[in-house]
């Protein structure tokens, strides 16, 4: 890559915020298992995955703030924007409960968490791989670091997808119900918006065809091993979270996330 080109090409701030918002929101969702994990090892695993994601968000928010040059910080983007300003996929803000089978004993379903982590990391592993080669040098450096984390997240979620999907009758039913519930939200991954157009215009090119193929290949491989099946994709509404149109769930999640910072603005500890 030509050094001069790498210095002049900058991904649009809206796209950097989209990536950061994805990581922050899913990090916050996964963190809800802290102290509530089904086993101690998974309690710690989800906490570590959350820390990885929030770390990615911090790097991206800090990059946006430094380029804005207006004295803003990463905290301003994480704590002092309302839900309509967030550009995360709707999939990531959905609560931990879904279509629980009748004999479920809790209002948080680990099948939802595992399936969502699998679908998201199956997207992000190949996406970070492409971005690690992009012409925006700062974004490429963040992507290279994030790729290592996303690869681990994919392996962890795929291992549990297989264990539970190809496990007991009950675990299989819960995983299939989670997949049926979440899969339609992945349509948003491939909906072209002004965000993608701005990215291309800025000179940060992504091969969306290859990305979609890589994503589907990872999904198909995981589902084949777990004996799960993709639901029939019915025509219907496509979520628009990356355009700022969210479910009501994001407002509640952000209230939990932002309440202390908003109650004590400027506090340090």
Structurally, how many domains does the chain consist of? Answer: 1
- Stretch 45-58: mean pLDDT, rounded? 96
- Stretch 30-53: mean pLDDT, rounded? 91
Q: Which residue has the higher pLDDT, 191 or 105?
A: 191
CA dist., res. 250 & res. 24, Å (int): 12
**CATH code of the domain containing 136:** 1.20.1260.10
Whether 229 maps to a domain, the answer reads yes
Whether 45 maps to a domain, the answer reads yes
pLDDT at 187: 95
**Has residue 243 got a pLDDT over 90?**
yes
**Has residue 269 got a pLDDT over 80?**
no
CA dist., res. 173 & res. 115, Å (int): 13
Whether 3 maps to a domain, the answer reads no
Residue range 157-188, pLDDT digits in tens = 999 999 999 999 999 999 999 999 999 999 99
Question: Domain containing 134: what range?
Answer: 10-263
Whether 212 maps to a domain, the answer reads yes
Q: What percent of the chain has pLDDT over 70?
A: 94
**Has residue 17 got a pLDDT over 70?**
yes
pLDDT at 4: 47
Whether 152 maps to a domain, the answer reads yes
Whether 20 maps to a domain, the answer reads yes
pLDDT bin (cut points 50, 70, 90) of residue 224 is very high
Whether 182 maps to a domain, the answer reads yes
Whether 187 maps to a domain, the answer reads yes
């Amino acid at each position: 890559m030509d050094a001069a080109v790498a210095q002049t090409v900058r991904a649009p701030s809206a796209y950097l915020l989209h990536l950061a918002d994805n990581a922050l929101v899913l990090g916050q969702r996964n963190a809800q298992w802290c102290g509530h994990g089904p086993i101690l090892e998974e309690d710690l695993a989800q906490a570590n995955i959350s820390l990885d994601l929030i770390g990615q968000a911090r790097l991206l928010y800090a990059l946006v703030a430094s380029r804005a040059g207006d004295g803003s910080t990463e905290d301003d983007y994480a704590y002092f924007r309302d839900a309509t300003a967030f550009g995360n996929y709707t999939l990531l803000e959905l609560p931990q409960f879904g279509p629980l089978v009748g004999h479920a004993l809790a209002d948080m379903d680990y099948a939802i968490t595992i399936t969502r982590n699998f679908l998201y990391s199956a997207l992000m592993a190949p996406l970070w791989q492409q971005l690690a080669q992009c012409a925006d040098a700062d974004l490429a450096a963040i992507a290279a670091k994030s790729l290592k984390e996303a690869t681990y997240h994919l392996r962890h979620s795929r291992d549990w997808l297989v264990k539970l999907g190809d496990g007991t009758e009950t675990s299989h039913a819960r995983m299939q119900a989670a997949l049926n519930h979440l899969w339609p939200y992945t349509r948003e991954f491939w909906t072209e918006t002004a965000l993608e157009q701005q990215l291309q215009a800025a000179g940060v090119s992504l091969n969306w065809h290859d990305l979609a193929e890589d994503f589907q290949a990872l999904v198909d491989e995981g589902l084949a091993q777990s004996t799960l099946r993709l639901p029939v994709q019915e025509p219907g509404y496509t979520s628009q979270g990356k355009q700022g149109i969210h479910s009501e769930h994001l407002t509640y999640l952000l209230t939990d996330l932002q309440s202390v910072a908003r109650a004590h603005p400027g506090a340090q500890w």
